Amino acid sequence: MSEPANKLESYPWHRALWTSLTRDRTRLVHALLLNGQIGLGKSTFATQLSTMLLCENPNQHSHACGSCKSCLLVSAGTHPDLKRVEPAEEGRVITVDQTRALVEFMTLRPHIAQRKVVILRPAESMNTNAANSLLKILEEPPLGNIFILVSHQPAKLPATIRSRCSRIEFKLPPRHDGIDWLQTQEVSVADAAVLLGLAGGAPLRALELDQTGVIGQREQLLVDLEALRAGTADVVACAARWQKIGAEFSLAWLQRLVADMVKIDMISQPESFLANHDLACRLQALGEELDLKQLYGFADAVSQARDLLASPVDNLLLLEDILIRWFRVTRKIILPTE
Ligand SMILES: [Zn+2]
pLDDT digit string, tens, across residues 179-235: 999 999 999 988 998 899 888 899 999 999 999 899 999 999 999 999 999 999 999
Q: Does domain 12-169 have CATH number 1.20.1050.10?
A: no
| Rounded percentage of the chain residues whose pLDDT exceeds 70 | 95
pLDDT above 50: residue 58? yes
Burial of 53 (0-12, 13-18, 19+ CB in 10 A): buried
Q: Please state, rounded to an integer, the average pLDDT across all residues of the chain.
A: 91
Distance 248 CA to ligand 1 centre (A): 45
pLDDT of residue 9: 58
Per-residue pLDDT band for 138 (boundaries 50, 70, 90) equals confident
Distance 120 CA to ligand 1 centre (A): 22
pLDDT of residue 5: 43
pLDDT of residue 29: 83
Phi, psi of 117 (to 5 degrees): -130, 135
Q: How far is CA 225 from the centre of its chain?
A: 28
Give the DSSP letter string of 177-244.
Answer: HHHHHHHHTT--HHHHHHHHHHTTT-HHHHHHHHHTTHHHHHHHHHHHHHHHHHT-S-HHHHHHHHHH
| Beta-carbon contacts of residue 256 (< 8 Å; ≥ 6 apart) | 275, 276
Distance 152 CA to ligand 1 centre (A): 29
- Secondary structure letter of residue 290 according to DSSP: -
pLDDT of residue 140: 75
pLDDT above 60: residue 250? yes
What is the H or E stretch that residue 283 is in? Answer: helix 280-287
Evaluated on CA atoms 205, 201, 171, 99, the torsion sign reads negative
How much is the pTM? 0.79
Distance 53 CA to ligand 1 centre (A): 9
- Per-residue pLDDT tens digits for 90-136: 889 999 999 999 999 998 899 999 999 999 999 999 999 999 999 98
| Number of other residues whose CB lies within 10 A of the CB of residue 72 | 12
Calculated CA dihedral for residues 119, 124, 130, 135, nearest 10 degrees: 70
pLDDT of residue 2: 47
- Per-residue pLDDT tens digits for 311-321: 888 999 999 99
pLDDT of residue 91: 84
Distance 26 CA to ligand 1 centre (A): 21
CA distance 201 to 252: 19
| Window from 34-48, 75-89, 283-297, 323-337 with minimum mean pLDDT | 323-337
Contact of 130 with 13, CB cutoff 8 Å: no
| Number of other residues whose CB lies within 10 A of the CB of residue 322 | 23
Distance 60 CA to ligand 1 centre (A): 12
Per-residue pLDDT band for 336 (boundaries 50, 70, 90) equals low
Distance 74 CA to ligand 1 centre (A): 9
Distance 75 CA to ligand 1 centre (A): 10
Q: How do beta strands 166-169 and 31-35 pair? A: parallel
pLDDT of residue 334: 59
What CATH class does 214-330 carry? mainly alpha
Distance 47 CA to ligand 1 centre (A): 13
What average pLDDT does range 248-277 have in this prediction?
Answer: 89
| Beta-carbon contacts of residue 67 (< 8 Å; ≥ 6 apart) | none
CA distance 105 to 81: 8
Distance 17 CA to ligand 1 centre (A): 21
Distance 34 CA to ligand 1 centre (A): 23
Distance 72 CA to ligand 1 centre (A): 7
Distance 41 CA to ligand 1 centre (A): 21
Distance 65 CA to ligand 1 centre (A): 4
Distance 56 CA to ligand 1 centre (A): 5
Q: How far is CA 319 from CA 110, 247, 297, 316, in A?
A: 57, 7, 16, 5
Distance 143 CA to ligand 1 centre (A): 20
CA distance 201 to 182: 11
Distance 58 CA to ligand 1 centre (A): 6
pLDDT of residue 62: 85
Q: Helix, strand or coil for residue 305?
A: helix
Per-residue pLDDT band for 6 (boundaries 50, 70, 90) equals very low
Regarding predicted confidence, which is higher, 143 or 55?
55
pLDDT of residue 335: 54
Distance 87 CA to ligand 1 centre (A): 29
pLDDT of residue 1: 47
